A and B are shown apart, each in its own frame.
Chain A
Amino acid sequence: MQAEVVEFESAKTGESVQAVYEHPWPVRFSHWLNTIALFVMTGSGLQTFRAFPSFGAKIPQKDLLNWPKAFAIGGWLGGALQWHLTFMWIYIATGLFYLGYQICSGHYCQVLFLPGDIGGVWPMARHYFLFGPKPPATEAYNPLQKLAYTSALGLGVLSVLTGVAIWKPIQFSWLAWLMGGFHLARLWHFLVMWGILFFLLGHLVMVVLHGWNNFMSMLTGWKTHPDYTPRS
């Protein structure tokens, strides 16, 4: 996979600045569409959960947690379901568009975690969490990043599958069966959501740590001053 690279002269300093095209528009488009869809799906999902905040029996009902209404979308159960059942189509369509693009373009090489990346995970984790030396960057994503993004994509797929098992436990009874039945599918759906939120937390911390040039690359595709030497 070859990245497009340009060099331009800075108008201020006259020095030569390198920029690499990291994110083609379908990836950026899906990223921001998904940001909104995920926000609505999580908020409305939590409002739905408020109607029965338990995974046990209805009688007697033991509430698991009282999620605050202020951090939920829809205002009431019916409203939340309208949001959820509307944005699930946007969420699914975005996911299919993204996966379709990645597969057809071959751009997935940038993000897909492969067995060859396993060795690079620990040095990177040691750098981030234990202040170890920073392994040299050789491409857009390091092995730990690839692992995180690939896992997040997997969770995205699981969020749809567990959701379908709850929405259509009879028409897709095999899906519900795979998850241990309708009752457990609801728990998996909930846990997958927390998995995605956990990824999001790490993602946002990294975005802040890596600064403006990195953030802009998800808007324009171009990253100036890359911290690696792009192959071109």
Chain B
Amino acid sequence: MDERKFKKMNRRELLKITPVIALAAFAIPVLREPLLKKGLAFSDWASGKLFRPGHLATTFEDSELTPFEKFPINGYDVDDPGVIFENWTLTVSGAVQKPGDYTLAQIQALPATRQNTRHVCVEGWDVIGRFGGTRLSEFLKLIGADPTARFVSVQCADDYYESLDMATAMHPQTLLCYEMYDKPLTREHGAPVRLNVPTKIGYKQAKYLTDLKVSHVLDRVGYWEDQGYSWFYGL
């Protein structure tokens, strides 16, 4: 073999691995954002597929609880949006048979449950807390939510907003939570009612709920999601 033939063979071999250069698309600013959005959307799709409706989050002994005073508050804006408890109702709308305003007493009249579950923050820290309330699925039954609806979204007193897929909303550990550590929610932790969704990341645990909507389409996704975080973020 002469050297020219060898070099030709080498060039052909080099060509075979050039598709790797396609990844340079991520270095081009106008392409980067849509590509990363696609990547995040794919991860959310995979998360949805991996979610098992009957699979429970690990629960813990009372002795494993993070002390209440060491459970981070982590509001995004104000710790206390000044909810007036006497007037508070949860306003229900959307694909439900009985829309309207629901009082805390109506929510508390539903079967209560308590659970020690892990709260995982997207930042990387985690704590184990004790949460009490009623299953969101019980409340959805009370308001006559359309079982074919796909989303449950909530609005909060501090302008925070969040949404859940229906499978997660119906999960037996997803709570309309009005108690932490066996005491009524404190203002910083989202009184009078917050979400407790142990199968999801921390920012899905919306506090100080004011509105709940059942829908087939999402008109708003969530506060942090709109900044670029994952929507599904199931654990």
Contacts and interface: CB of A to CB of B under 8 A. Distances in A.
Interface of A: 6-11, 17, 19, 25, 28-29, 32-33, 36, 40, 48-49, 51-52, 54, 57-59, 61, 77-79, 81-83, 85-90, 167-171, 173, 182-183, 186, 216, 219-222
Interface of B: 1-6, 9-11, 13-14, 16-17, 19-20, 23, 26, 35-40, 42-43, 47, 50-52, 55, 57-58, 66, 69-72, 118, 120-127, 198-199, 224, 227-230, 234-235
A91 B230 CA distance: 19
A57 B121 CA distance: 12
Say what secondary structure dominates the interface of chain A. Answer: helix
Contacts of B23: 33, 36, 90
A26 B206 CA distance: 47
A229 to B, nearest CB: 19
5 contacts: A17-B3, A29-B19, A48-B124, A171-B51, A183-B126
A29 B3 contact: no
Given A6-B6, A183-B126, A85 B234 contact: no
Contacts of B39: 82, 85-87, 89
Contact of B13 (A32, A54, A221): A221
A28 B125 contact: no
A170 B234 contact: yes
A28 to B, nearest CB: 5
Contacts of B127: 57-58
Nearest to A78: B228
Contacts of A79: 36, 228
Contact of B121 (A52, A90, A171, A173): A52
Contacts of A77: 122-123
